[in-house]
Amino acid sequence: MDEELITKINKLQNAFSTVGQNNPVDLPQITVIGSQSSGKSSVLENIVGRDFLPRGSGIVTRRPLVLQLINTPKSSDPEQNVEYGEFLHLPGKKFTDFSEIRNEIVRETDLKTGKNAGISPLPINLTIFSPKVLTLTLVDLPGLTKVPIGDQPRDIERLIRDMIMKYITRPNAIVLAVTAANTDLANSDGLKMAREVDPEGTRTIGVLTKVDLMDKGTDVIDILAGKIIPLRLGYVPVVNRGQKDIENNKPISNALDYEKQFFENHPSYSSKSQFCGTPFLSRKLNMATTLPEIKAKVASNLLKYETELEQLGNPLEDQAGISPLPINLTIFSPKVLTLTLVDLPGLTKVPIGDQPRDIERLIRDMIMKYITRPNAIVLAVTAANTDLANSDGLKMAREVDPEGTRTIGVLTKVDLMDKGTDVIDILAGKIIPLRLGYVPVVNRGQKDIENNKPISNALDYEKQFFENHPSYSSKSQFCGTPFLSRKLNMATTLPEIKAKVASNLLKYETELEQLGNPLEDQAGGMANTILSIITEFCNDFCQVLDGQSNDVSAYELSGGARISFVFHELYSNGVKYIDPLENIKDTDIRTILYNSSGSTPALFVDTSAFEFIVKKQIRRLEEPSLKCVTMIHDELVRISSHLLLKQSFKRFPQLKDSFYVVITNFLKTSMVPTNKIVSDLVGMEQMYVNTAHPDFLSGQKALNIVSEKLNPSKPVGPDGRPTNARQPNQQTYDRALDQEMNPNKDNNFFGSFFQSKTKRPTIMDPREIMEIEVIKLLIQSYYNIVKRTMIDMVPKAIMLKLVNFAREGLQKELLKELYNPEVLGDLLKESDITVQRRAECKRMISALKTADQVLNSV
């Protein structure tokens, strides 16, 4: 395991500790979750081997504890083997007494949460150095509880759950779900939450505590076998100290011995005891932080490579031939860093012996299959005593990595360069720059290899060479094979983290700029701010009306486009569909005709009857026209409301409310003259009926149209002349009229003179039908003229009195109502959310910059 890599990751954990659970970069962590009193603290103390966590009833862990365990090599010097802890908030102070560590955790917790059992998402960072631990990073989270205790908030369950979810939803988080074995696994809160974020169980390890307290005859074998709730990473049973053991100060070392004996002697676990207990859990956790992704890739690519292997056939037998079939070698040593390297055939241009003529292409194709992979770090090796511009390795690396973001240059044979020359310009990136830079090294020569010179001696010589060379002595810590090993180890894991840090730094710096600086108390600064906000709002308002806004929706019409839609679709079609004769019966028209002619029957169609009807129908156009005004008013209010969602108004909530009141009152006031002019337009049309309009149908033409409709060409008789026989409809009319006018002529002589009601007969004669049809045709003709006029004039009136009035007068109104030094302080009072968010952004930027410095030092 690479101690330096984990050290770097731990530095990143510390850098982001100030931002709590809102860490923007997903760092590898083991999160410990479980119900209250499930044994989480005991598991952690067993892993560490020391008593250091607070204990008691109720919620003891009330802040996340980021616990970084660092394995220190054992030394013959007892002073070097001292175990100690350090807190991030007390840098440099070593706690060798672990009871003081417990007290400091309690003190720091109470400092942030008080003593009322409240919780806080701000973590406590503790690093423990010990030769007895494996290097791990764990996060101990508050235990799940359902019932608030004491002064705890009523929603304590939700608060703890939300805090836990923010840690365990991270893809790189290994979830350590702790459950008491003497409870029903199906009711485990820890496992339930783990399954929510990790339904396949690929990054969850189940820990079963209190195995020794189960009923006799019961065990957890079925759980371990995955028959109950399967987990890909499985379960680990452990035995912790009981409450009585803790009160009696039973040493953890004795507890671990008892745990070992329990599993070795128990009939159910003895055959599997090597997979039980805290030591195995520590090793499993150590591996779990690095292996899940590798295991998944191995499983998903196994079939692919087996197929490819079959296609490749057997290796070539020629001594100088090449084969793409790899040789896999694993070296275990305490002197190496954990790395995976692929050594590929050297590039050659001239075939030797029986090598195929296209040996250069074969080697090149083989190399390209490896280095084109996006996650491959390319180690381009070039002899320092040759021209870098002719390096085949760098040339191929540049083809697949033109930006040099995943290429490390290695300069060999630095000790064989001509005197007076060095590689300082190359290291400085002045020749062929690489993001990951170059590392100069000194290797054994051919003679050293033939003389079996030990590599340890060669590394000592390399170290002395760089430390004593005048060009490299000041930078010797960045030269040589040991530095190259560390750089390679970092390069395989940190590029993604560096990219996330960079992108998040830009994101939060942009947000902080939008939030702005806190306003000064001087009235001048506040006045400039409100002037700027009013000007920006009014400019945005006009741009939305003109269709020039940057915030254009692809899903609905808005602004000027919606106003146009109201005018030319909703209002226009609504007016067009109004039928002036919809509620008028023919008998009503006949009655109006008779009433308008008085006692003397009219010889022709009376114009007063026409005007009476058409004026009454014109009044029907007022309602849709006024409704159009309301719709445009509502759209202007909607535009304003949308603009009030911008960051500047989120920052000043009182200003937002005042803006809304001023705008709505201003638009409401504008409605009065707008409604008046629209009503006047209707009144103008109603007041004067212009029968001389060029589009109006003349009376004679209307008469001809109706006559042709009612009396088509007369039929021709046998003699070829038009017949004068009375038509059946006329005969029917005569009989019906006689019956209706004289219903009792045989019974009562006076019946025809003195009827009960005075009314016109319901059956109309041809002349009445003709007059009614002419009236209807004239009404339709004139009403269409009025509708076209209203469709044209009403939008113009609304634009004049409402839309343009708002465009030109809104800024003046806002300045008049809001630009008042006496109320500026209240209007520009920032919201608590803005103040809090600005502080969070500043903490995040500080943390990200610290992280960036750490990463740049790699």
Domain match, 277 and 346 both: no
- Output the six-digit token pair for 425: 């310009």
Contact 415, 468 (CB under 8 A): no
Domain residue limits at 480: 327-493
Domain match, 598 and 661 both: yes
Find, among 158, 161, 208, 156, the residue nearest to 181 by Cα.
208
Strands 124-130, 65-71: parallel, antiparallel or unpaired by DSSP?
parallel
- The span from the CA of 293 to the CA of 313, in Å, is 30
CATH label of the domain that carries residue 119: 3.40.50.300
Buried b (16+ CB within 10 A) or exposed e, 233-258: bbbbbbbbbbeebbeeeeebeebbee
Burial label for 208, CB within 10 Å (0-12, 13-18, 19+), is: buried
Give the pLDDT confidence of 464-514 residue by residue, as tens digits: 999 999 999 998 999 999 988 877 766 666 667 778 888 888 988 888 887
Domain match, 540 and 465 both: no
Report pTM: 0.46
- Residue 84 in any domain: the answer is yes
**pLDDT category, 781, cuts 50, 70, 90?**
confident
Domain match, 597 and 656 both: yes
Domain match, 232 and 162 both: yes
Domain match, 136 and 283 both: yes
- Residue 849 in any domain: the answer is no
- The span from the CA of 605 to the CA of 163, in Å, is 87
Domain match, 445 and 529 both: no
Domain match, 545 and 483 both: no
Cα 92–Cα 95–Cα 99 angle in degrees, nearest 5: 155
pLDDT at 529: 83
Amino acid at the residue 681: L
Give the pLDDT confidence of 681-711 residue by residue, as tens digits: 999 988 888 887 888 776 566 566 656 666 6
pLDDT at 760: 52
Of the three residues 294, 309, 342, the one that is the final residue of a domain is 294
The residue-averaged pLDDT of 44-62 equals 78
Domain match, 586 and 674 both: yes
Handedness of CA 118, 121, 126, 131 (dihedral sign): positive
Q: Which residues pair with 205 in a beta bridge?
A: 176
- HEC sequence for 250-272: CCHHHHHHHHHHHHHHCCCCHHH
Buried b (16+ CB within 10 A) or exposed e, 163-201: bbebbbebeebbbbbbbbbeeebeebbbbebbbebbeeb
Find, among 588, 594, 586, 593, the residue nearest to 610 by Cα.
593
pLDDT at 289: 57
**pLDDT category, 749, cuts 50, 70, 90?**
very low
Strands 29-34, 438-440: parallel, antiparallel or unpaired by DSSP?
unpaired
443 phi, psi to nearest 5 deg: -105, 175
What letter would DSSP give residue 835? H
Domain match, 269 and 394 both: no
How far is CA 267 from its chain centroid? Answer: 53
C-alpha dist (Å) from residue 474 to 29, 469, 478, 810:
37, 9, 9, 68
The residue-averaged pLDDT of 95-124 equals 85
CATH label of the domain that carries residue 667: 1.20.120.1240
- The span from the CA of 836 to the CA of 423, in Å, is 51
- The span from the CA of 810 to the CA of 796, in Å, is 19
The residue-averaged pLDDT of 304-331 equals 70
What letter would DSSP give residue 231? -
C-alpha dist (Å) from residue 53 to 39, 106, 126, 239, 254:
12, 9, 11, 18, 18
- The span from the CA of 503 to the CA of 506, in Å, is 5
Structure-model confidence comparison of residues 237 and 835, the more confident one: 237
- Residue 192 in any domain: the answer is yes
- The span from the CA of 197 to the CA of 164, in Å, is 11
Give the pLDDT confidence of 4-31 residue by residue, as tens digits: 555 565 566 566 555 555 555 555 678 9
Q: What percent of the chain has pLDDT over 90?
A: 25
Amino acid at the residue 746: D
- Residue 748 in any domain: the answer is no
Give the pLDDT confidence of 541-594 residue by residue, as tens digits: 998 888 877 665 555 677 788 899 999 999 999 998 888 777 776 666 666 665
The residue-averaged pLDDT of 129-155 equals 80
Burial label for 154, CB within 10 Å (0-12, 13-18, 19+), is: exposed
Strands 84-87, 124-130: parallel, antiparallel or unpaired by DSSP?
antiparallel
Give the pLDDT confidence of 333-391 residue by residue, as tens digits: 776 666 678 888 887 767 766 778 788 888 889 899 899 988 788 999 998 888 787 78
- H or E element in which residue 411 lies: strand 407-412
- The span from the CA of 207 to the CA of 42, in Å, is 12
Instruction: Look at the chain and report how many structural domains it folds into.
Output: 3
Give the pLDDT confidence of 85-96 residue by residue, as tens digits: 999 989 889 999
Look over the chain and give the mean of its residue pLDDT values, rounded to a whole number.
80
- The span from the CA of 546 to the CA of 575, in Å, is 26
Domain match, 173 and 253 both: yes
pLDDT at 346: 82
C-alpha dist (Å) from residue 257 to 237, 280, 586:
15, 13, 110
Query: Above 50 in pLDDT, residue 720?
Result: no
Find, among 524, 536, 531, 502, the residue nearest to 647 by Cα.
536
CA atoms within 13 A on the CB side of 43: 32
**pLDDT category, 799, cuts 50, 70, 90?**
very high
